[in-house]
Amino acid sequence: MAPHNVLDEGPADLEQNLADAEIRPPSPPPMSVEPPRLLIVGAGSRGRTYARCSLQSSNGIIAAVAEPDDYKRQDFGSKFIWGKTTPPPDGSSFRNWKEFVAWETDRQKRQNAGEAVPKGVDAVFICVRDEMHHDVILGLAPLGLHIMCEKPLATTLEDCTNIYRTLAPLQSSKVFSIGHVMRYSPHNMMLRKLLLEDKVIGDILSVHHTEPVGFWHFSHSYVRGNWRKESITAPSLLTKSCHDIDILLWLMCSPAPGSHAPEHLPTSVTSNGSLQFFKKSRKPKAAGNATNCLSCPAEKDCLYSSKRIYVGSKHMGIETGNVRWPISIVLPDIESFGGDIEQAKAAILPKLAEDYDETTPQEVIDSKNWFGRCVFESDNDVCDEQVVVMTWSDDPLSDLDTAANSTRGAKQATFHMIAQTKKQCQRYTYVYGTEGEIYADSKTITIENFQTGATTTYAPKLESLGHGGGDHGLTRQFVLAVDRVKNAGWEAPRAQKEFIGCSLEEIIRSHAMVFAAEEARRLGRTVDWKAWWDENVGSM
């Protein structure tokens, strides 16, 4: 059962993966004499992705891992840190982040006392579950590490603002990044340049951006998986689509390059959405009272059959030889079966047979994923379709600005997240301007010029299958920022600006916009952005 490498970077569209399998990540920058030493907290899918990207595309080295699952921790360490034959070096393997904090606190104390101690780490990638981000960040912050946290920053607005207030005083010496990898793909970087610097369609009037999650991908992650309940994690607009809200704000708020104007902040936000499909009222009659795929009479004909998805699918099931996502989420030790498909099937089927009923304690139901549970009988409650509309009003520029126009015009952005699609995370965007329009999908950017009638198409290089190269781009930029502070004497704010390209305030703003949109959706009203911000976030 050979590794199914085209799936190694996560839920990209499978047909596209096969077509683009020749894509290679960019070459890493030159190594420094003292390369940045990196800690990965959480050895799951995202932790492995950032570790792999660090080794392939950055000048950092993976020095330590913190992971409670024994198999995941050992497997991660053998692949990225200590190899298969040597035991873990001191300071390289921890059962959890708290164990690392205790070790590092003692190490620093001994070092300050003049003792010979192992090398520590310079930076950390936080890749634990979303609801843990707040505590991990606040726990690590006093250690003086540079931090990259997987998105979302936190699952509540209160936790996001608390993180900001904790980290803001440290920004003079440490950089901070968030896992908004879409900012760092060659595709989106080119789109932003065409719009804001080259102004190929004049002023932006309207943007329509769609995230097609994919019918079975949504069922895996947001019906059966980690992000199925708002009370346990957060709304799907945050856990799945904070990427997209961030990209829209990145395109719509930023002043033109060279301008001294402040950011053009939104005026209002509205939103509509609900759980439309994955609920009991949609359950096929043929399924009867079954709550689990393995005992369901309609299983063979169901698009969401767990046997179809995880065992026998021609695309990603065990029978294809896949040992990565999504199989590794259901059966984390899948690689331990050494390529024996029958043994792997025998191990995954009991996992898929796991179910609950009215006698199961709620804390047990909430504590794990149920990948064999009927998608129409699950306890999920997050939206599987949502639309967000953000508006910007006319904004007169100050006299300090040197732009030709004296006013930035009104505009709007519409975001649509939809689960029921064949496309899987292949986002597409329409941008309408005063002089032309753009259609951008996951591979191309096509410009229509109103004046000349000319059509121009760009095909930005895909550096990898992970968010079009965004995984590699974010990793490379974060580690380079750490390297410049550590080895080149740069001030952290300069490294933050030139390499990460996103301030802590921008990170808070994009998350806050998600929470404002959720309030608008729940209450069925238009939210005034400035008034909402002043009331809920205020001055930092």
460 to 56, 252, 256: CA distances (angstroms):
20, 21, 22
pLDDT at 430 exceeding the cut of 50 = yes
d(CA 266, CA 243): 17
At position 205, the amino acid (one-letter code) is: L
User: For residue 178, which of 465, 429, 533, 511 has the smallest C-alpha distance?
Assistant: 511
Tell me the two tokens of residue 272: 């509509």
Give residue 257's pLDDT. 75
Q: Where are the domains of the chain?
A: 24-183+469-502, 203-278+381-433+510-536, 280-366
Helices (H), 254-340: 306-307, 327-330
Confidence of residue 25 (pLDDT cuts 50, 70, 90): low
Q: What is the CATH architecture assignment of 24-183+469-502?
A: 3-Layer(aba) Sandwich (3.40)
pLDDT at 15 exceeding the cut of 70 = no
In the predicted model, what is the mean pLDDT of residues 10-30? Answer: 52
| Coil, helix or strand at residue 387 | strand
Give residue 16's pLDDT. 38
Q: Report the sign of the C-alpha dihedral through residues 320, 323, 329, 334, in that order.
A: positive
CATH topology of domain 203-278+381-433+510-536: Dihydrodipicolinate Reductase; domain 2 (3.30.360)
β-pair partners for 94:
66
Model pLDDT for residues 195-221, shown as the tens digit of each residue: 999 999 999 999 999 999 999 999 999
At position 526, the amino acid (one-letter code) is: T
Question: Which DSSP letter does residue 20 get?
Answer: T
Model pLDDT for residues 106-162, shown as the tens digit of each residue: 999 999 999 999 999 999 999 999 999 999 999 999 999 999 999 999 999 999 999
Confidence of residue 406 (pLDDT cuts 50, 70, 90): low
At position 474, the amino acid (one-letter code) is: L
d(CA 151, CA 243): 8
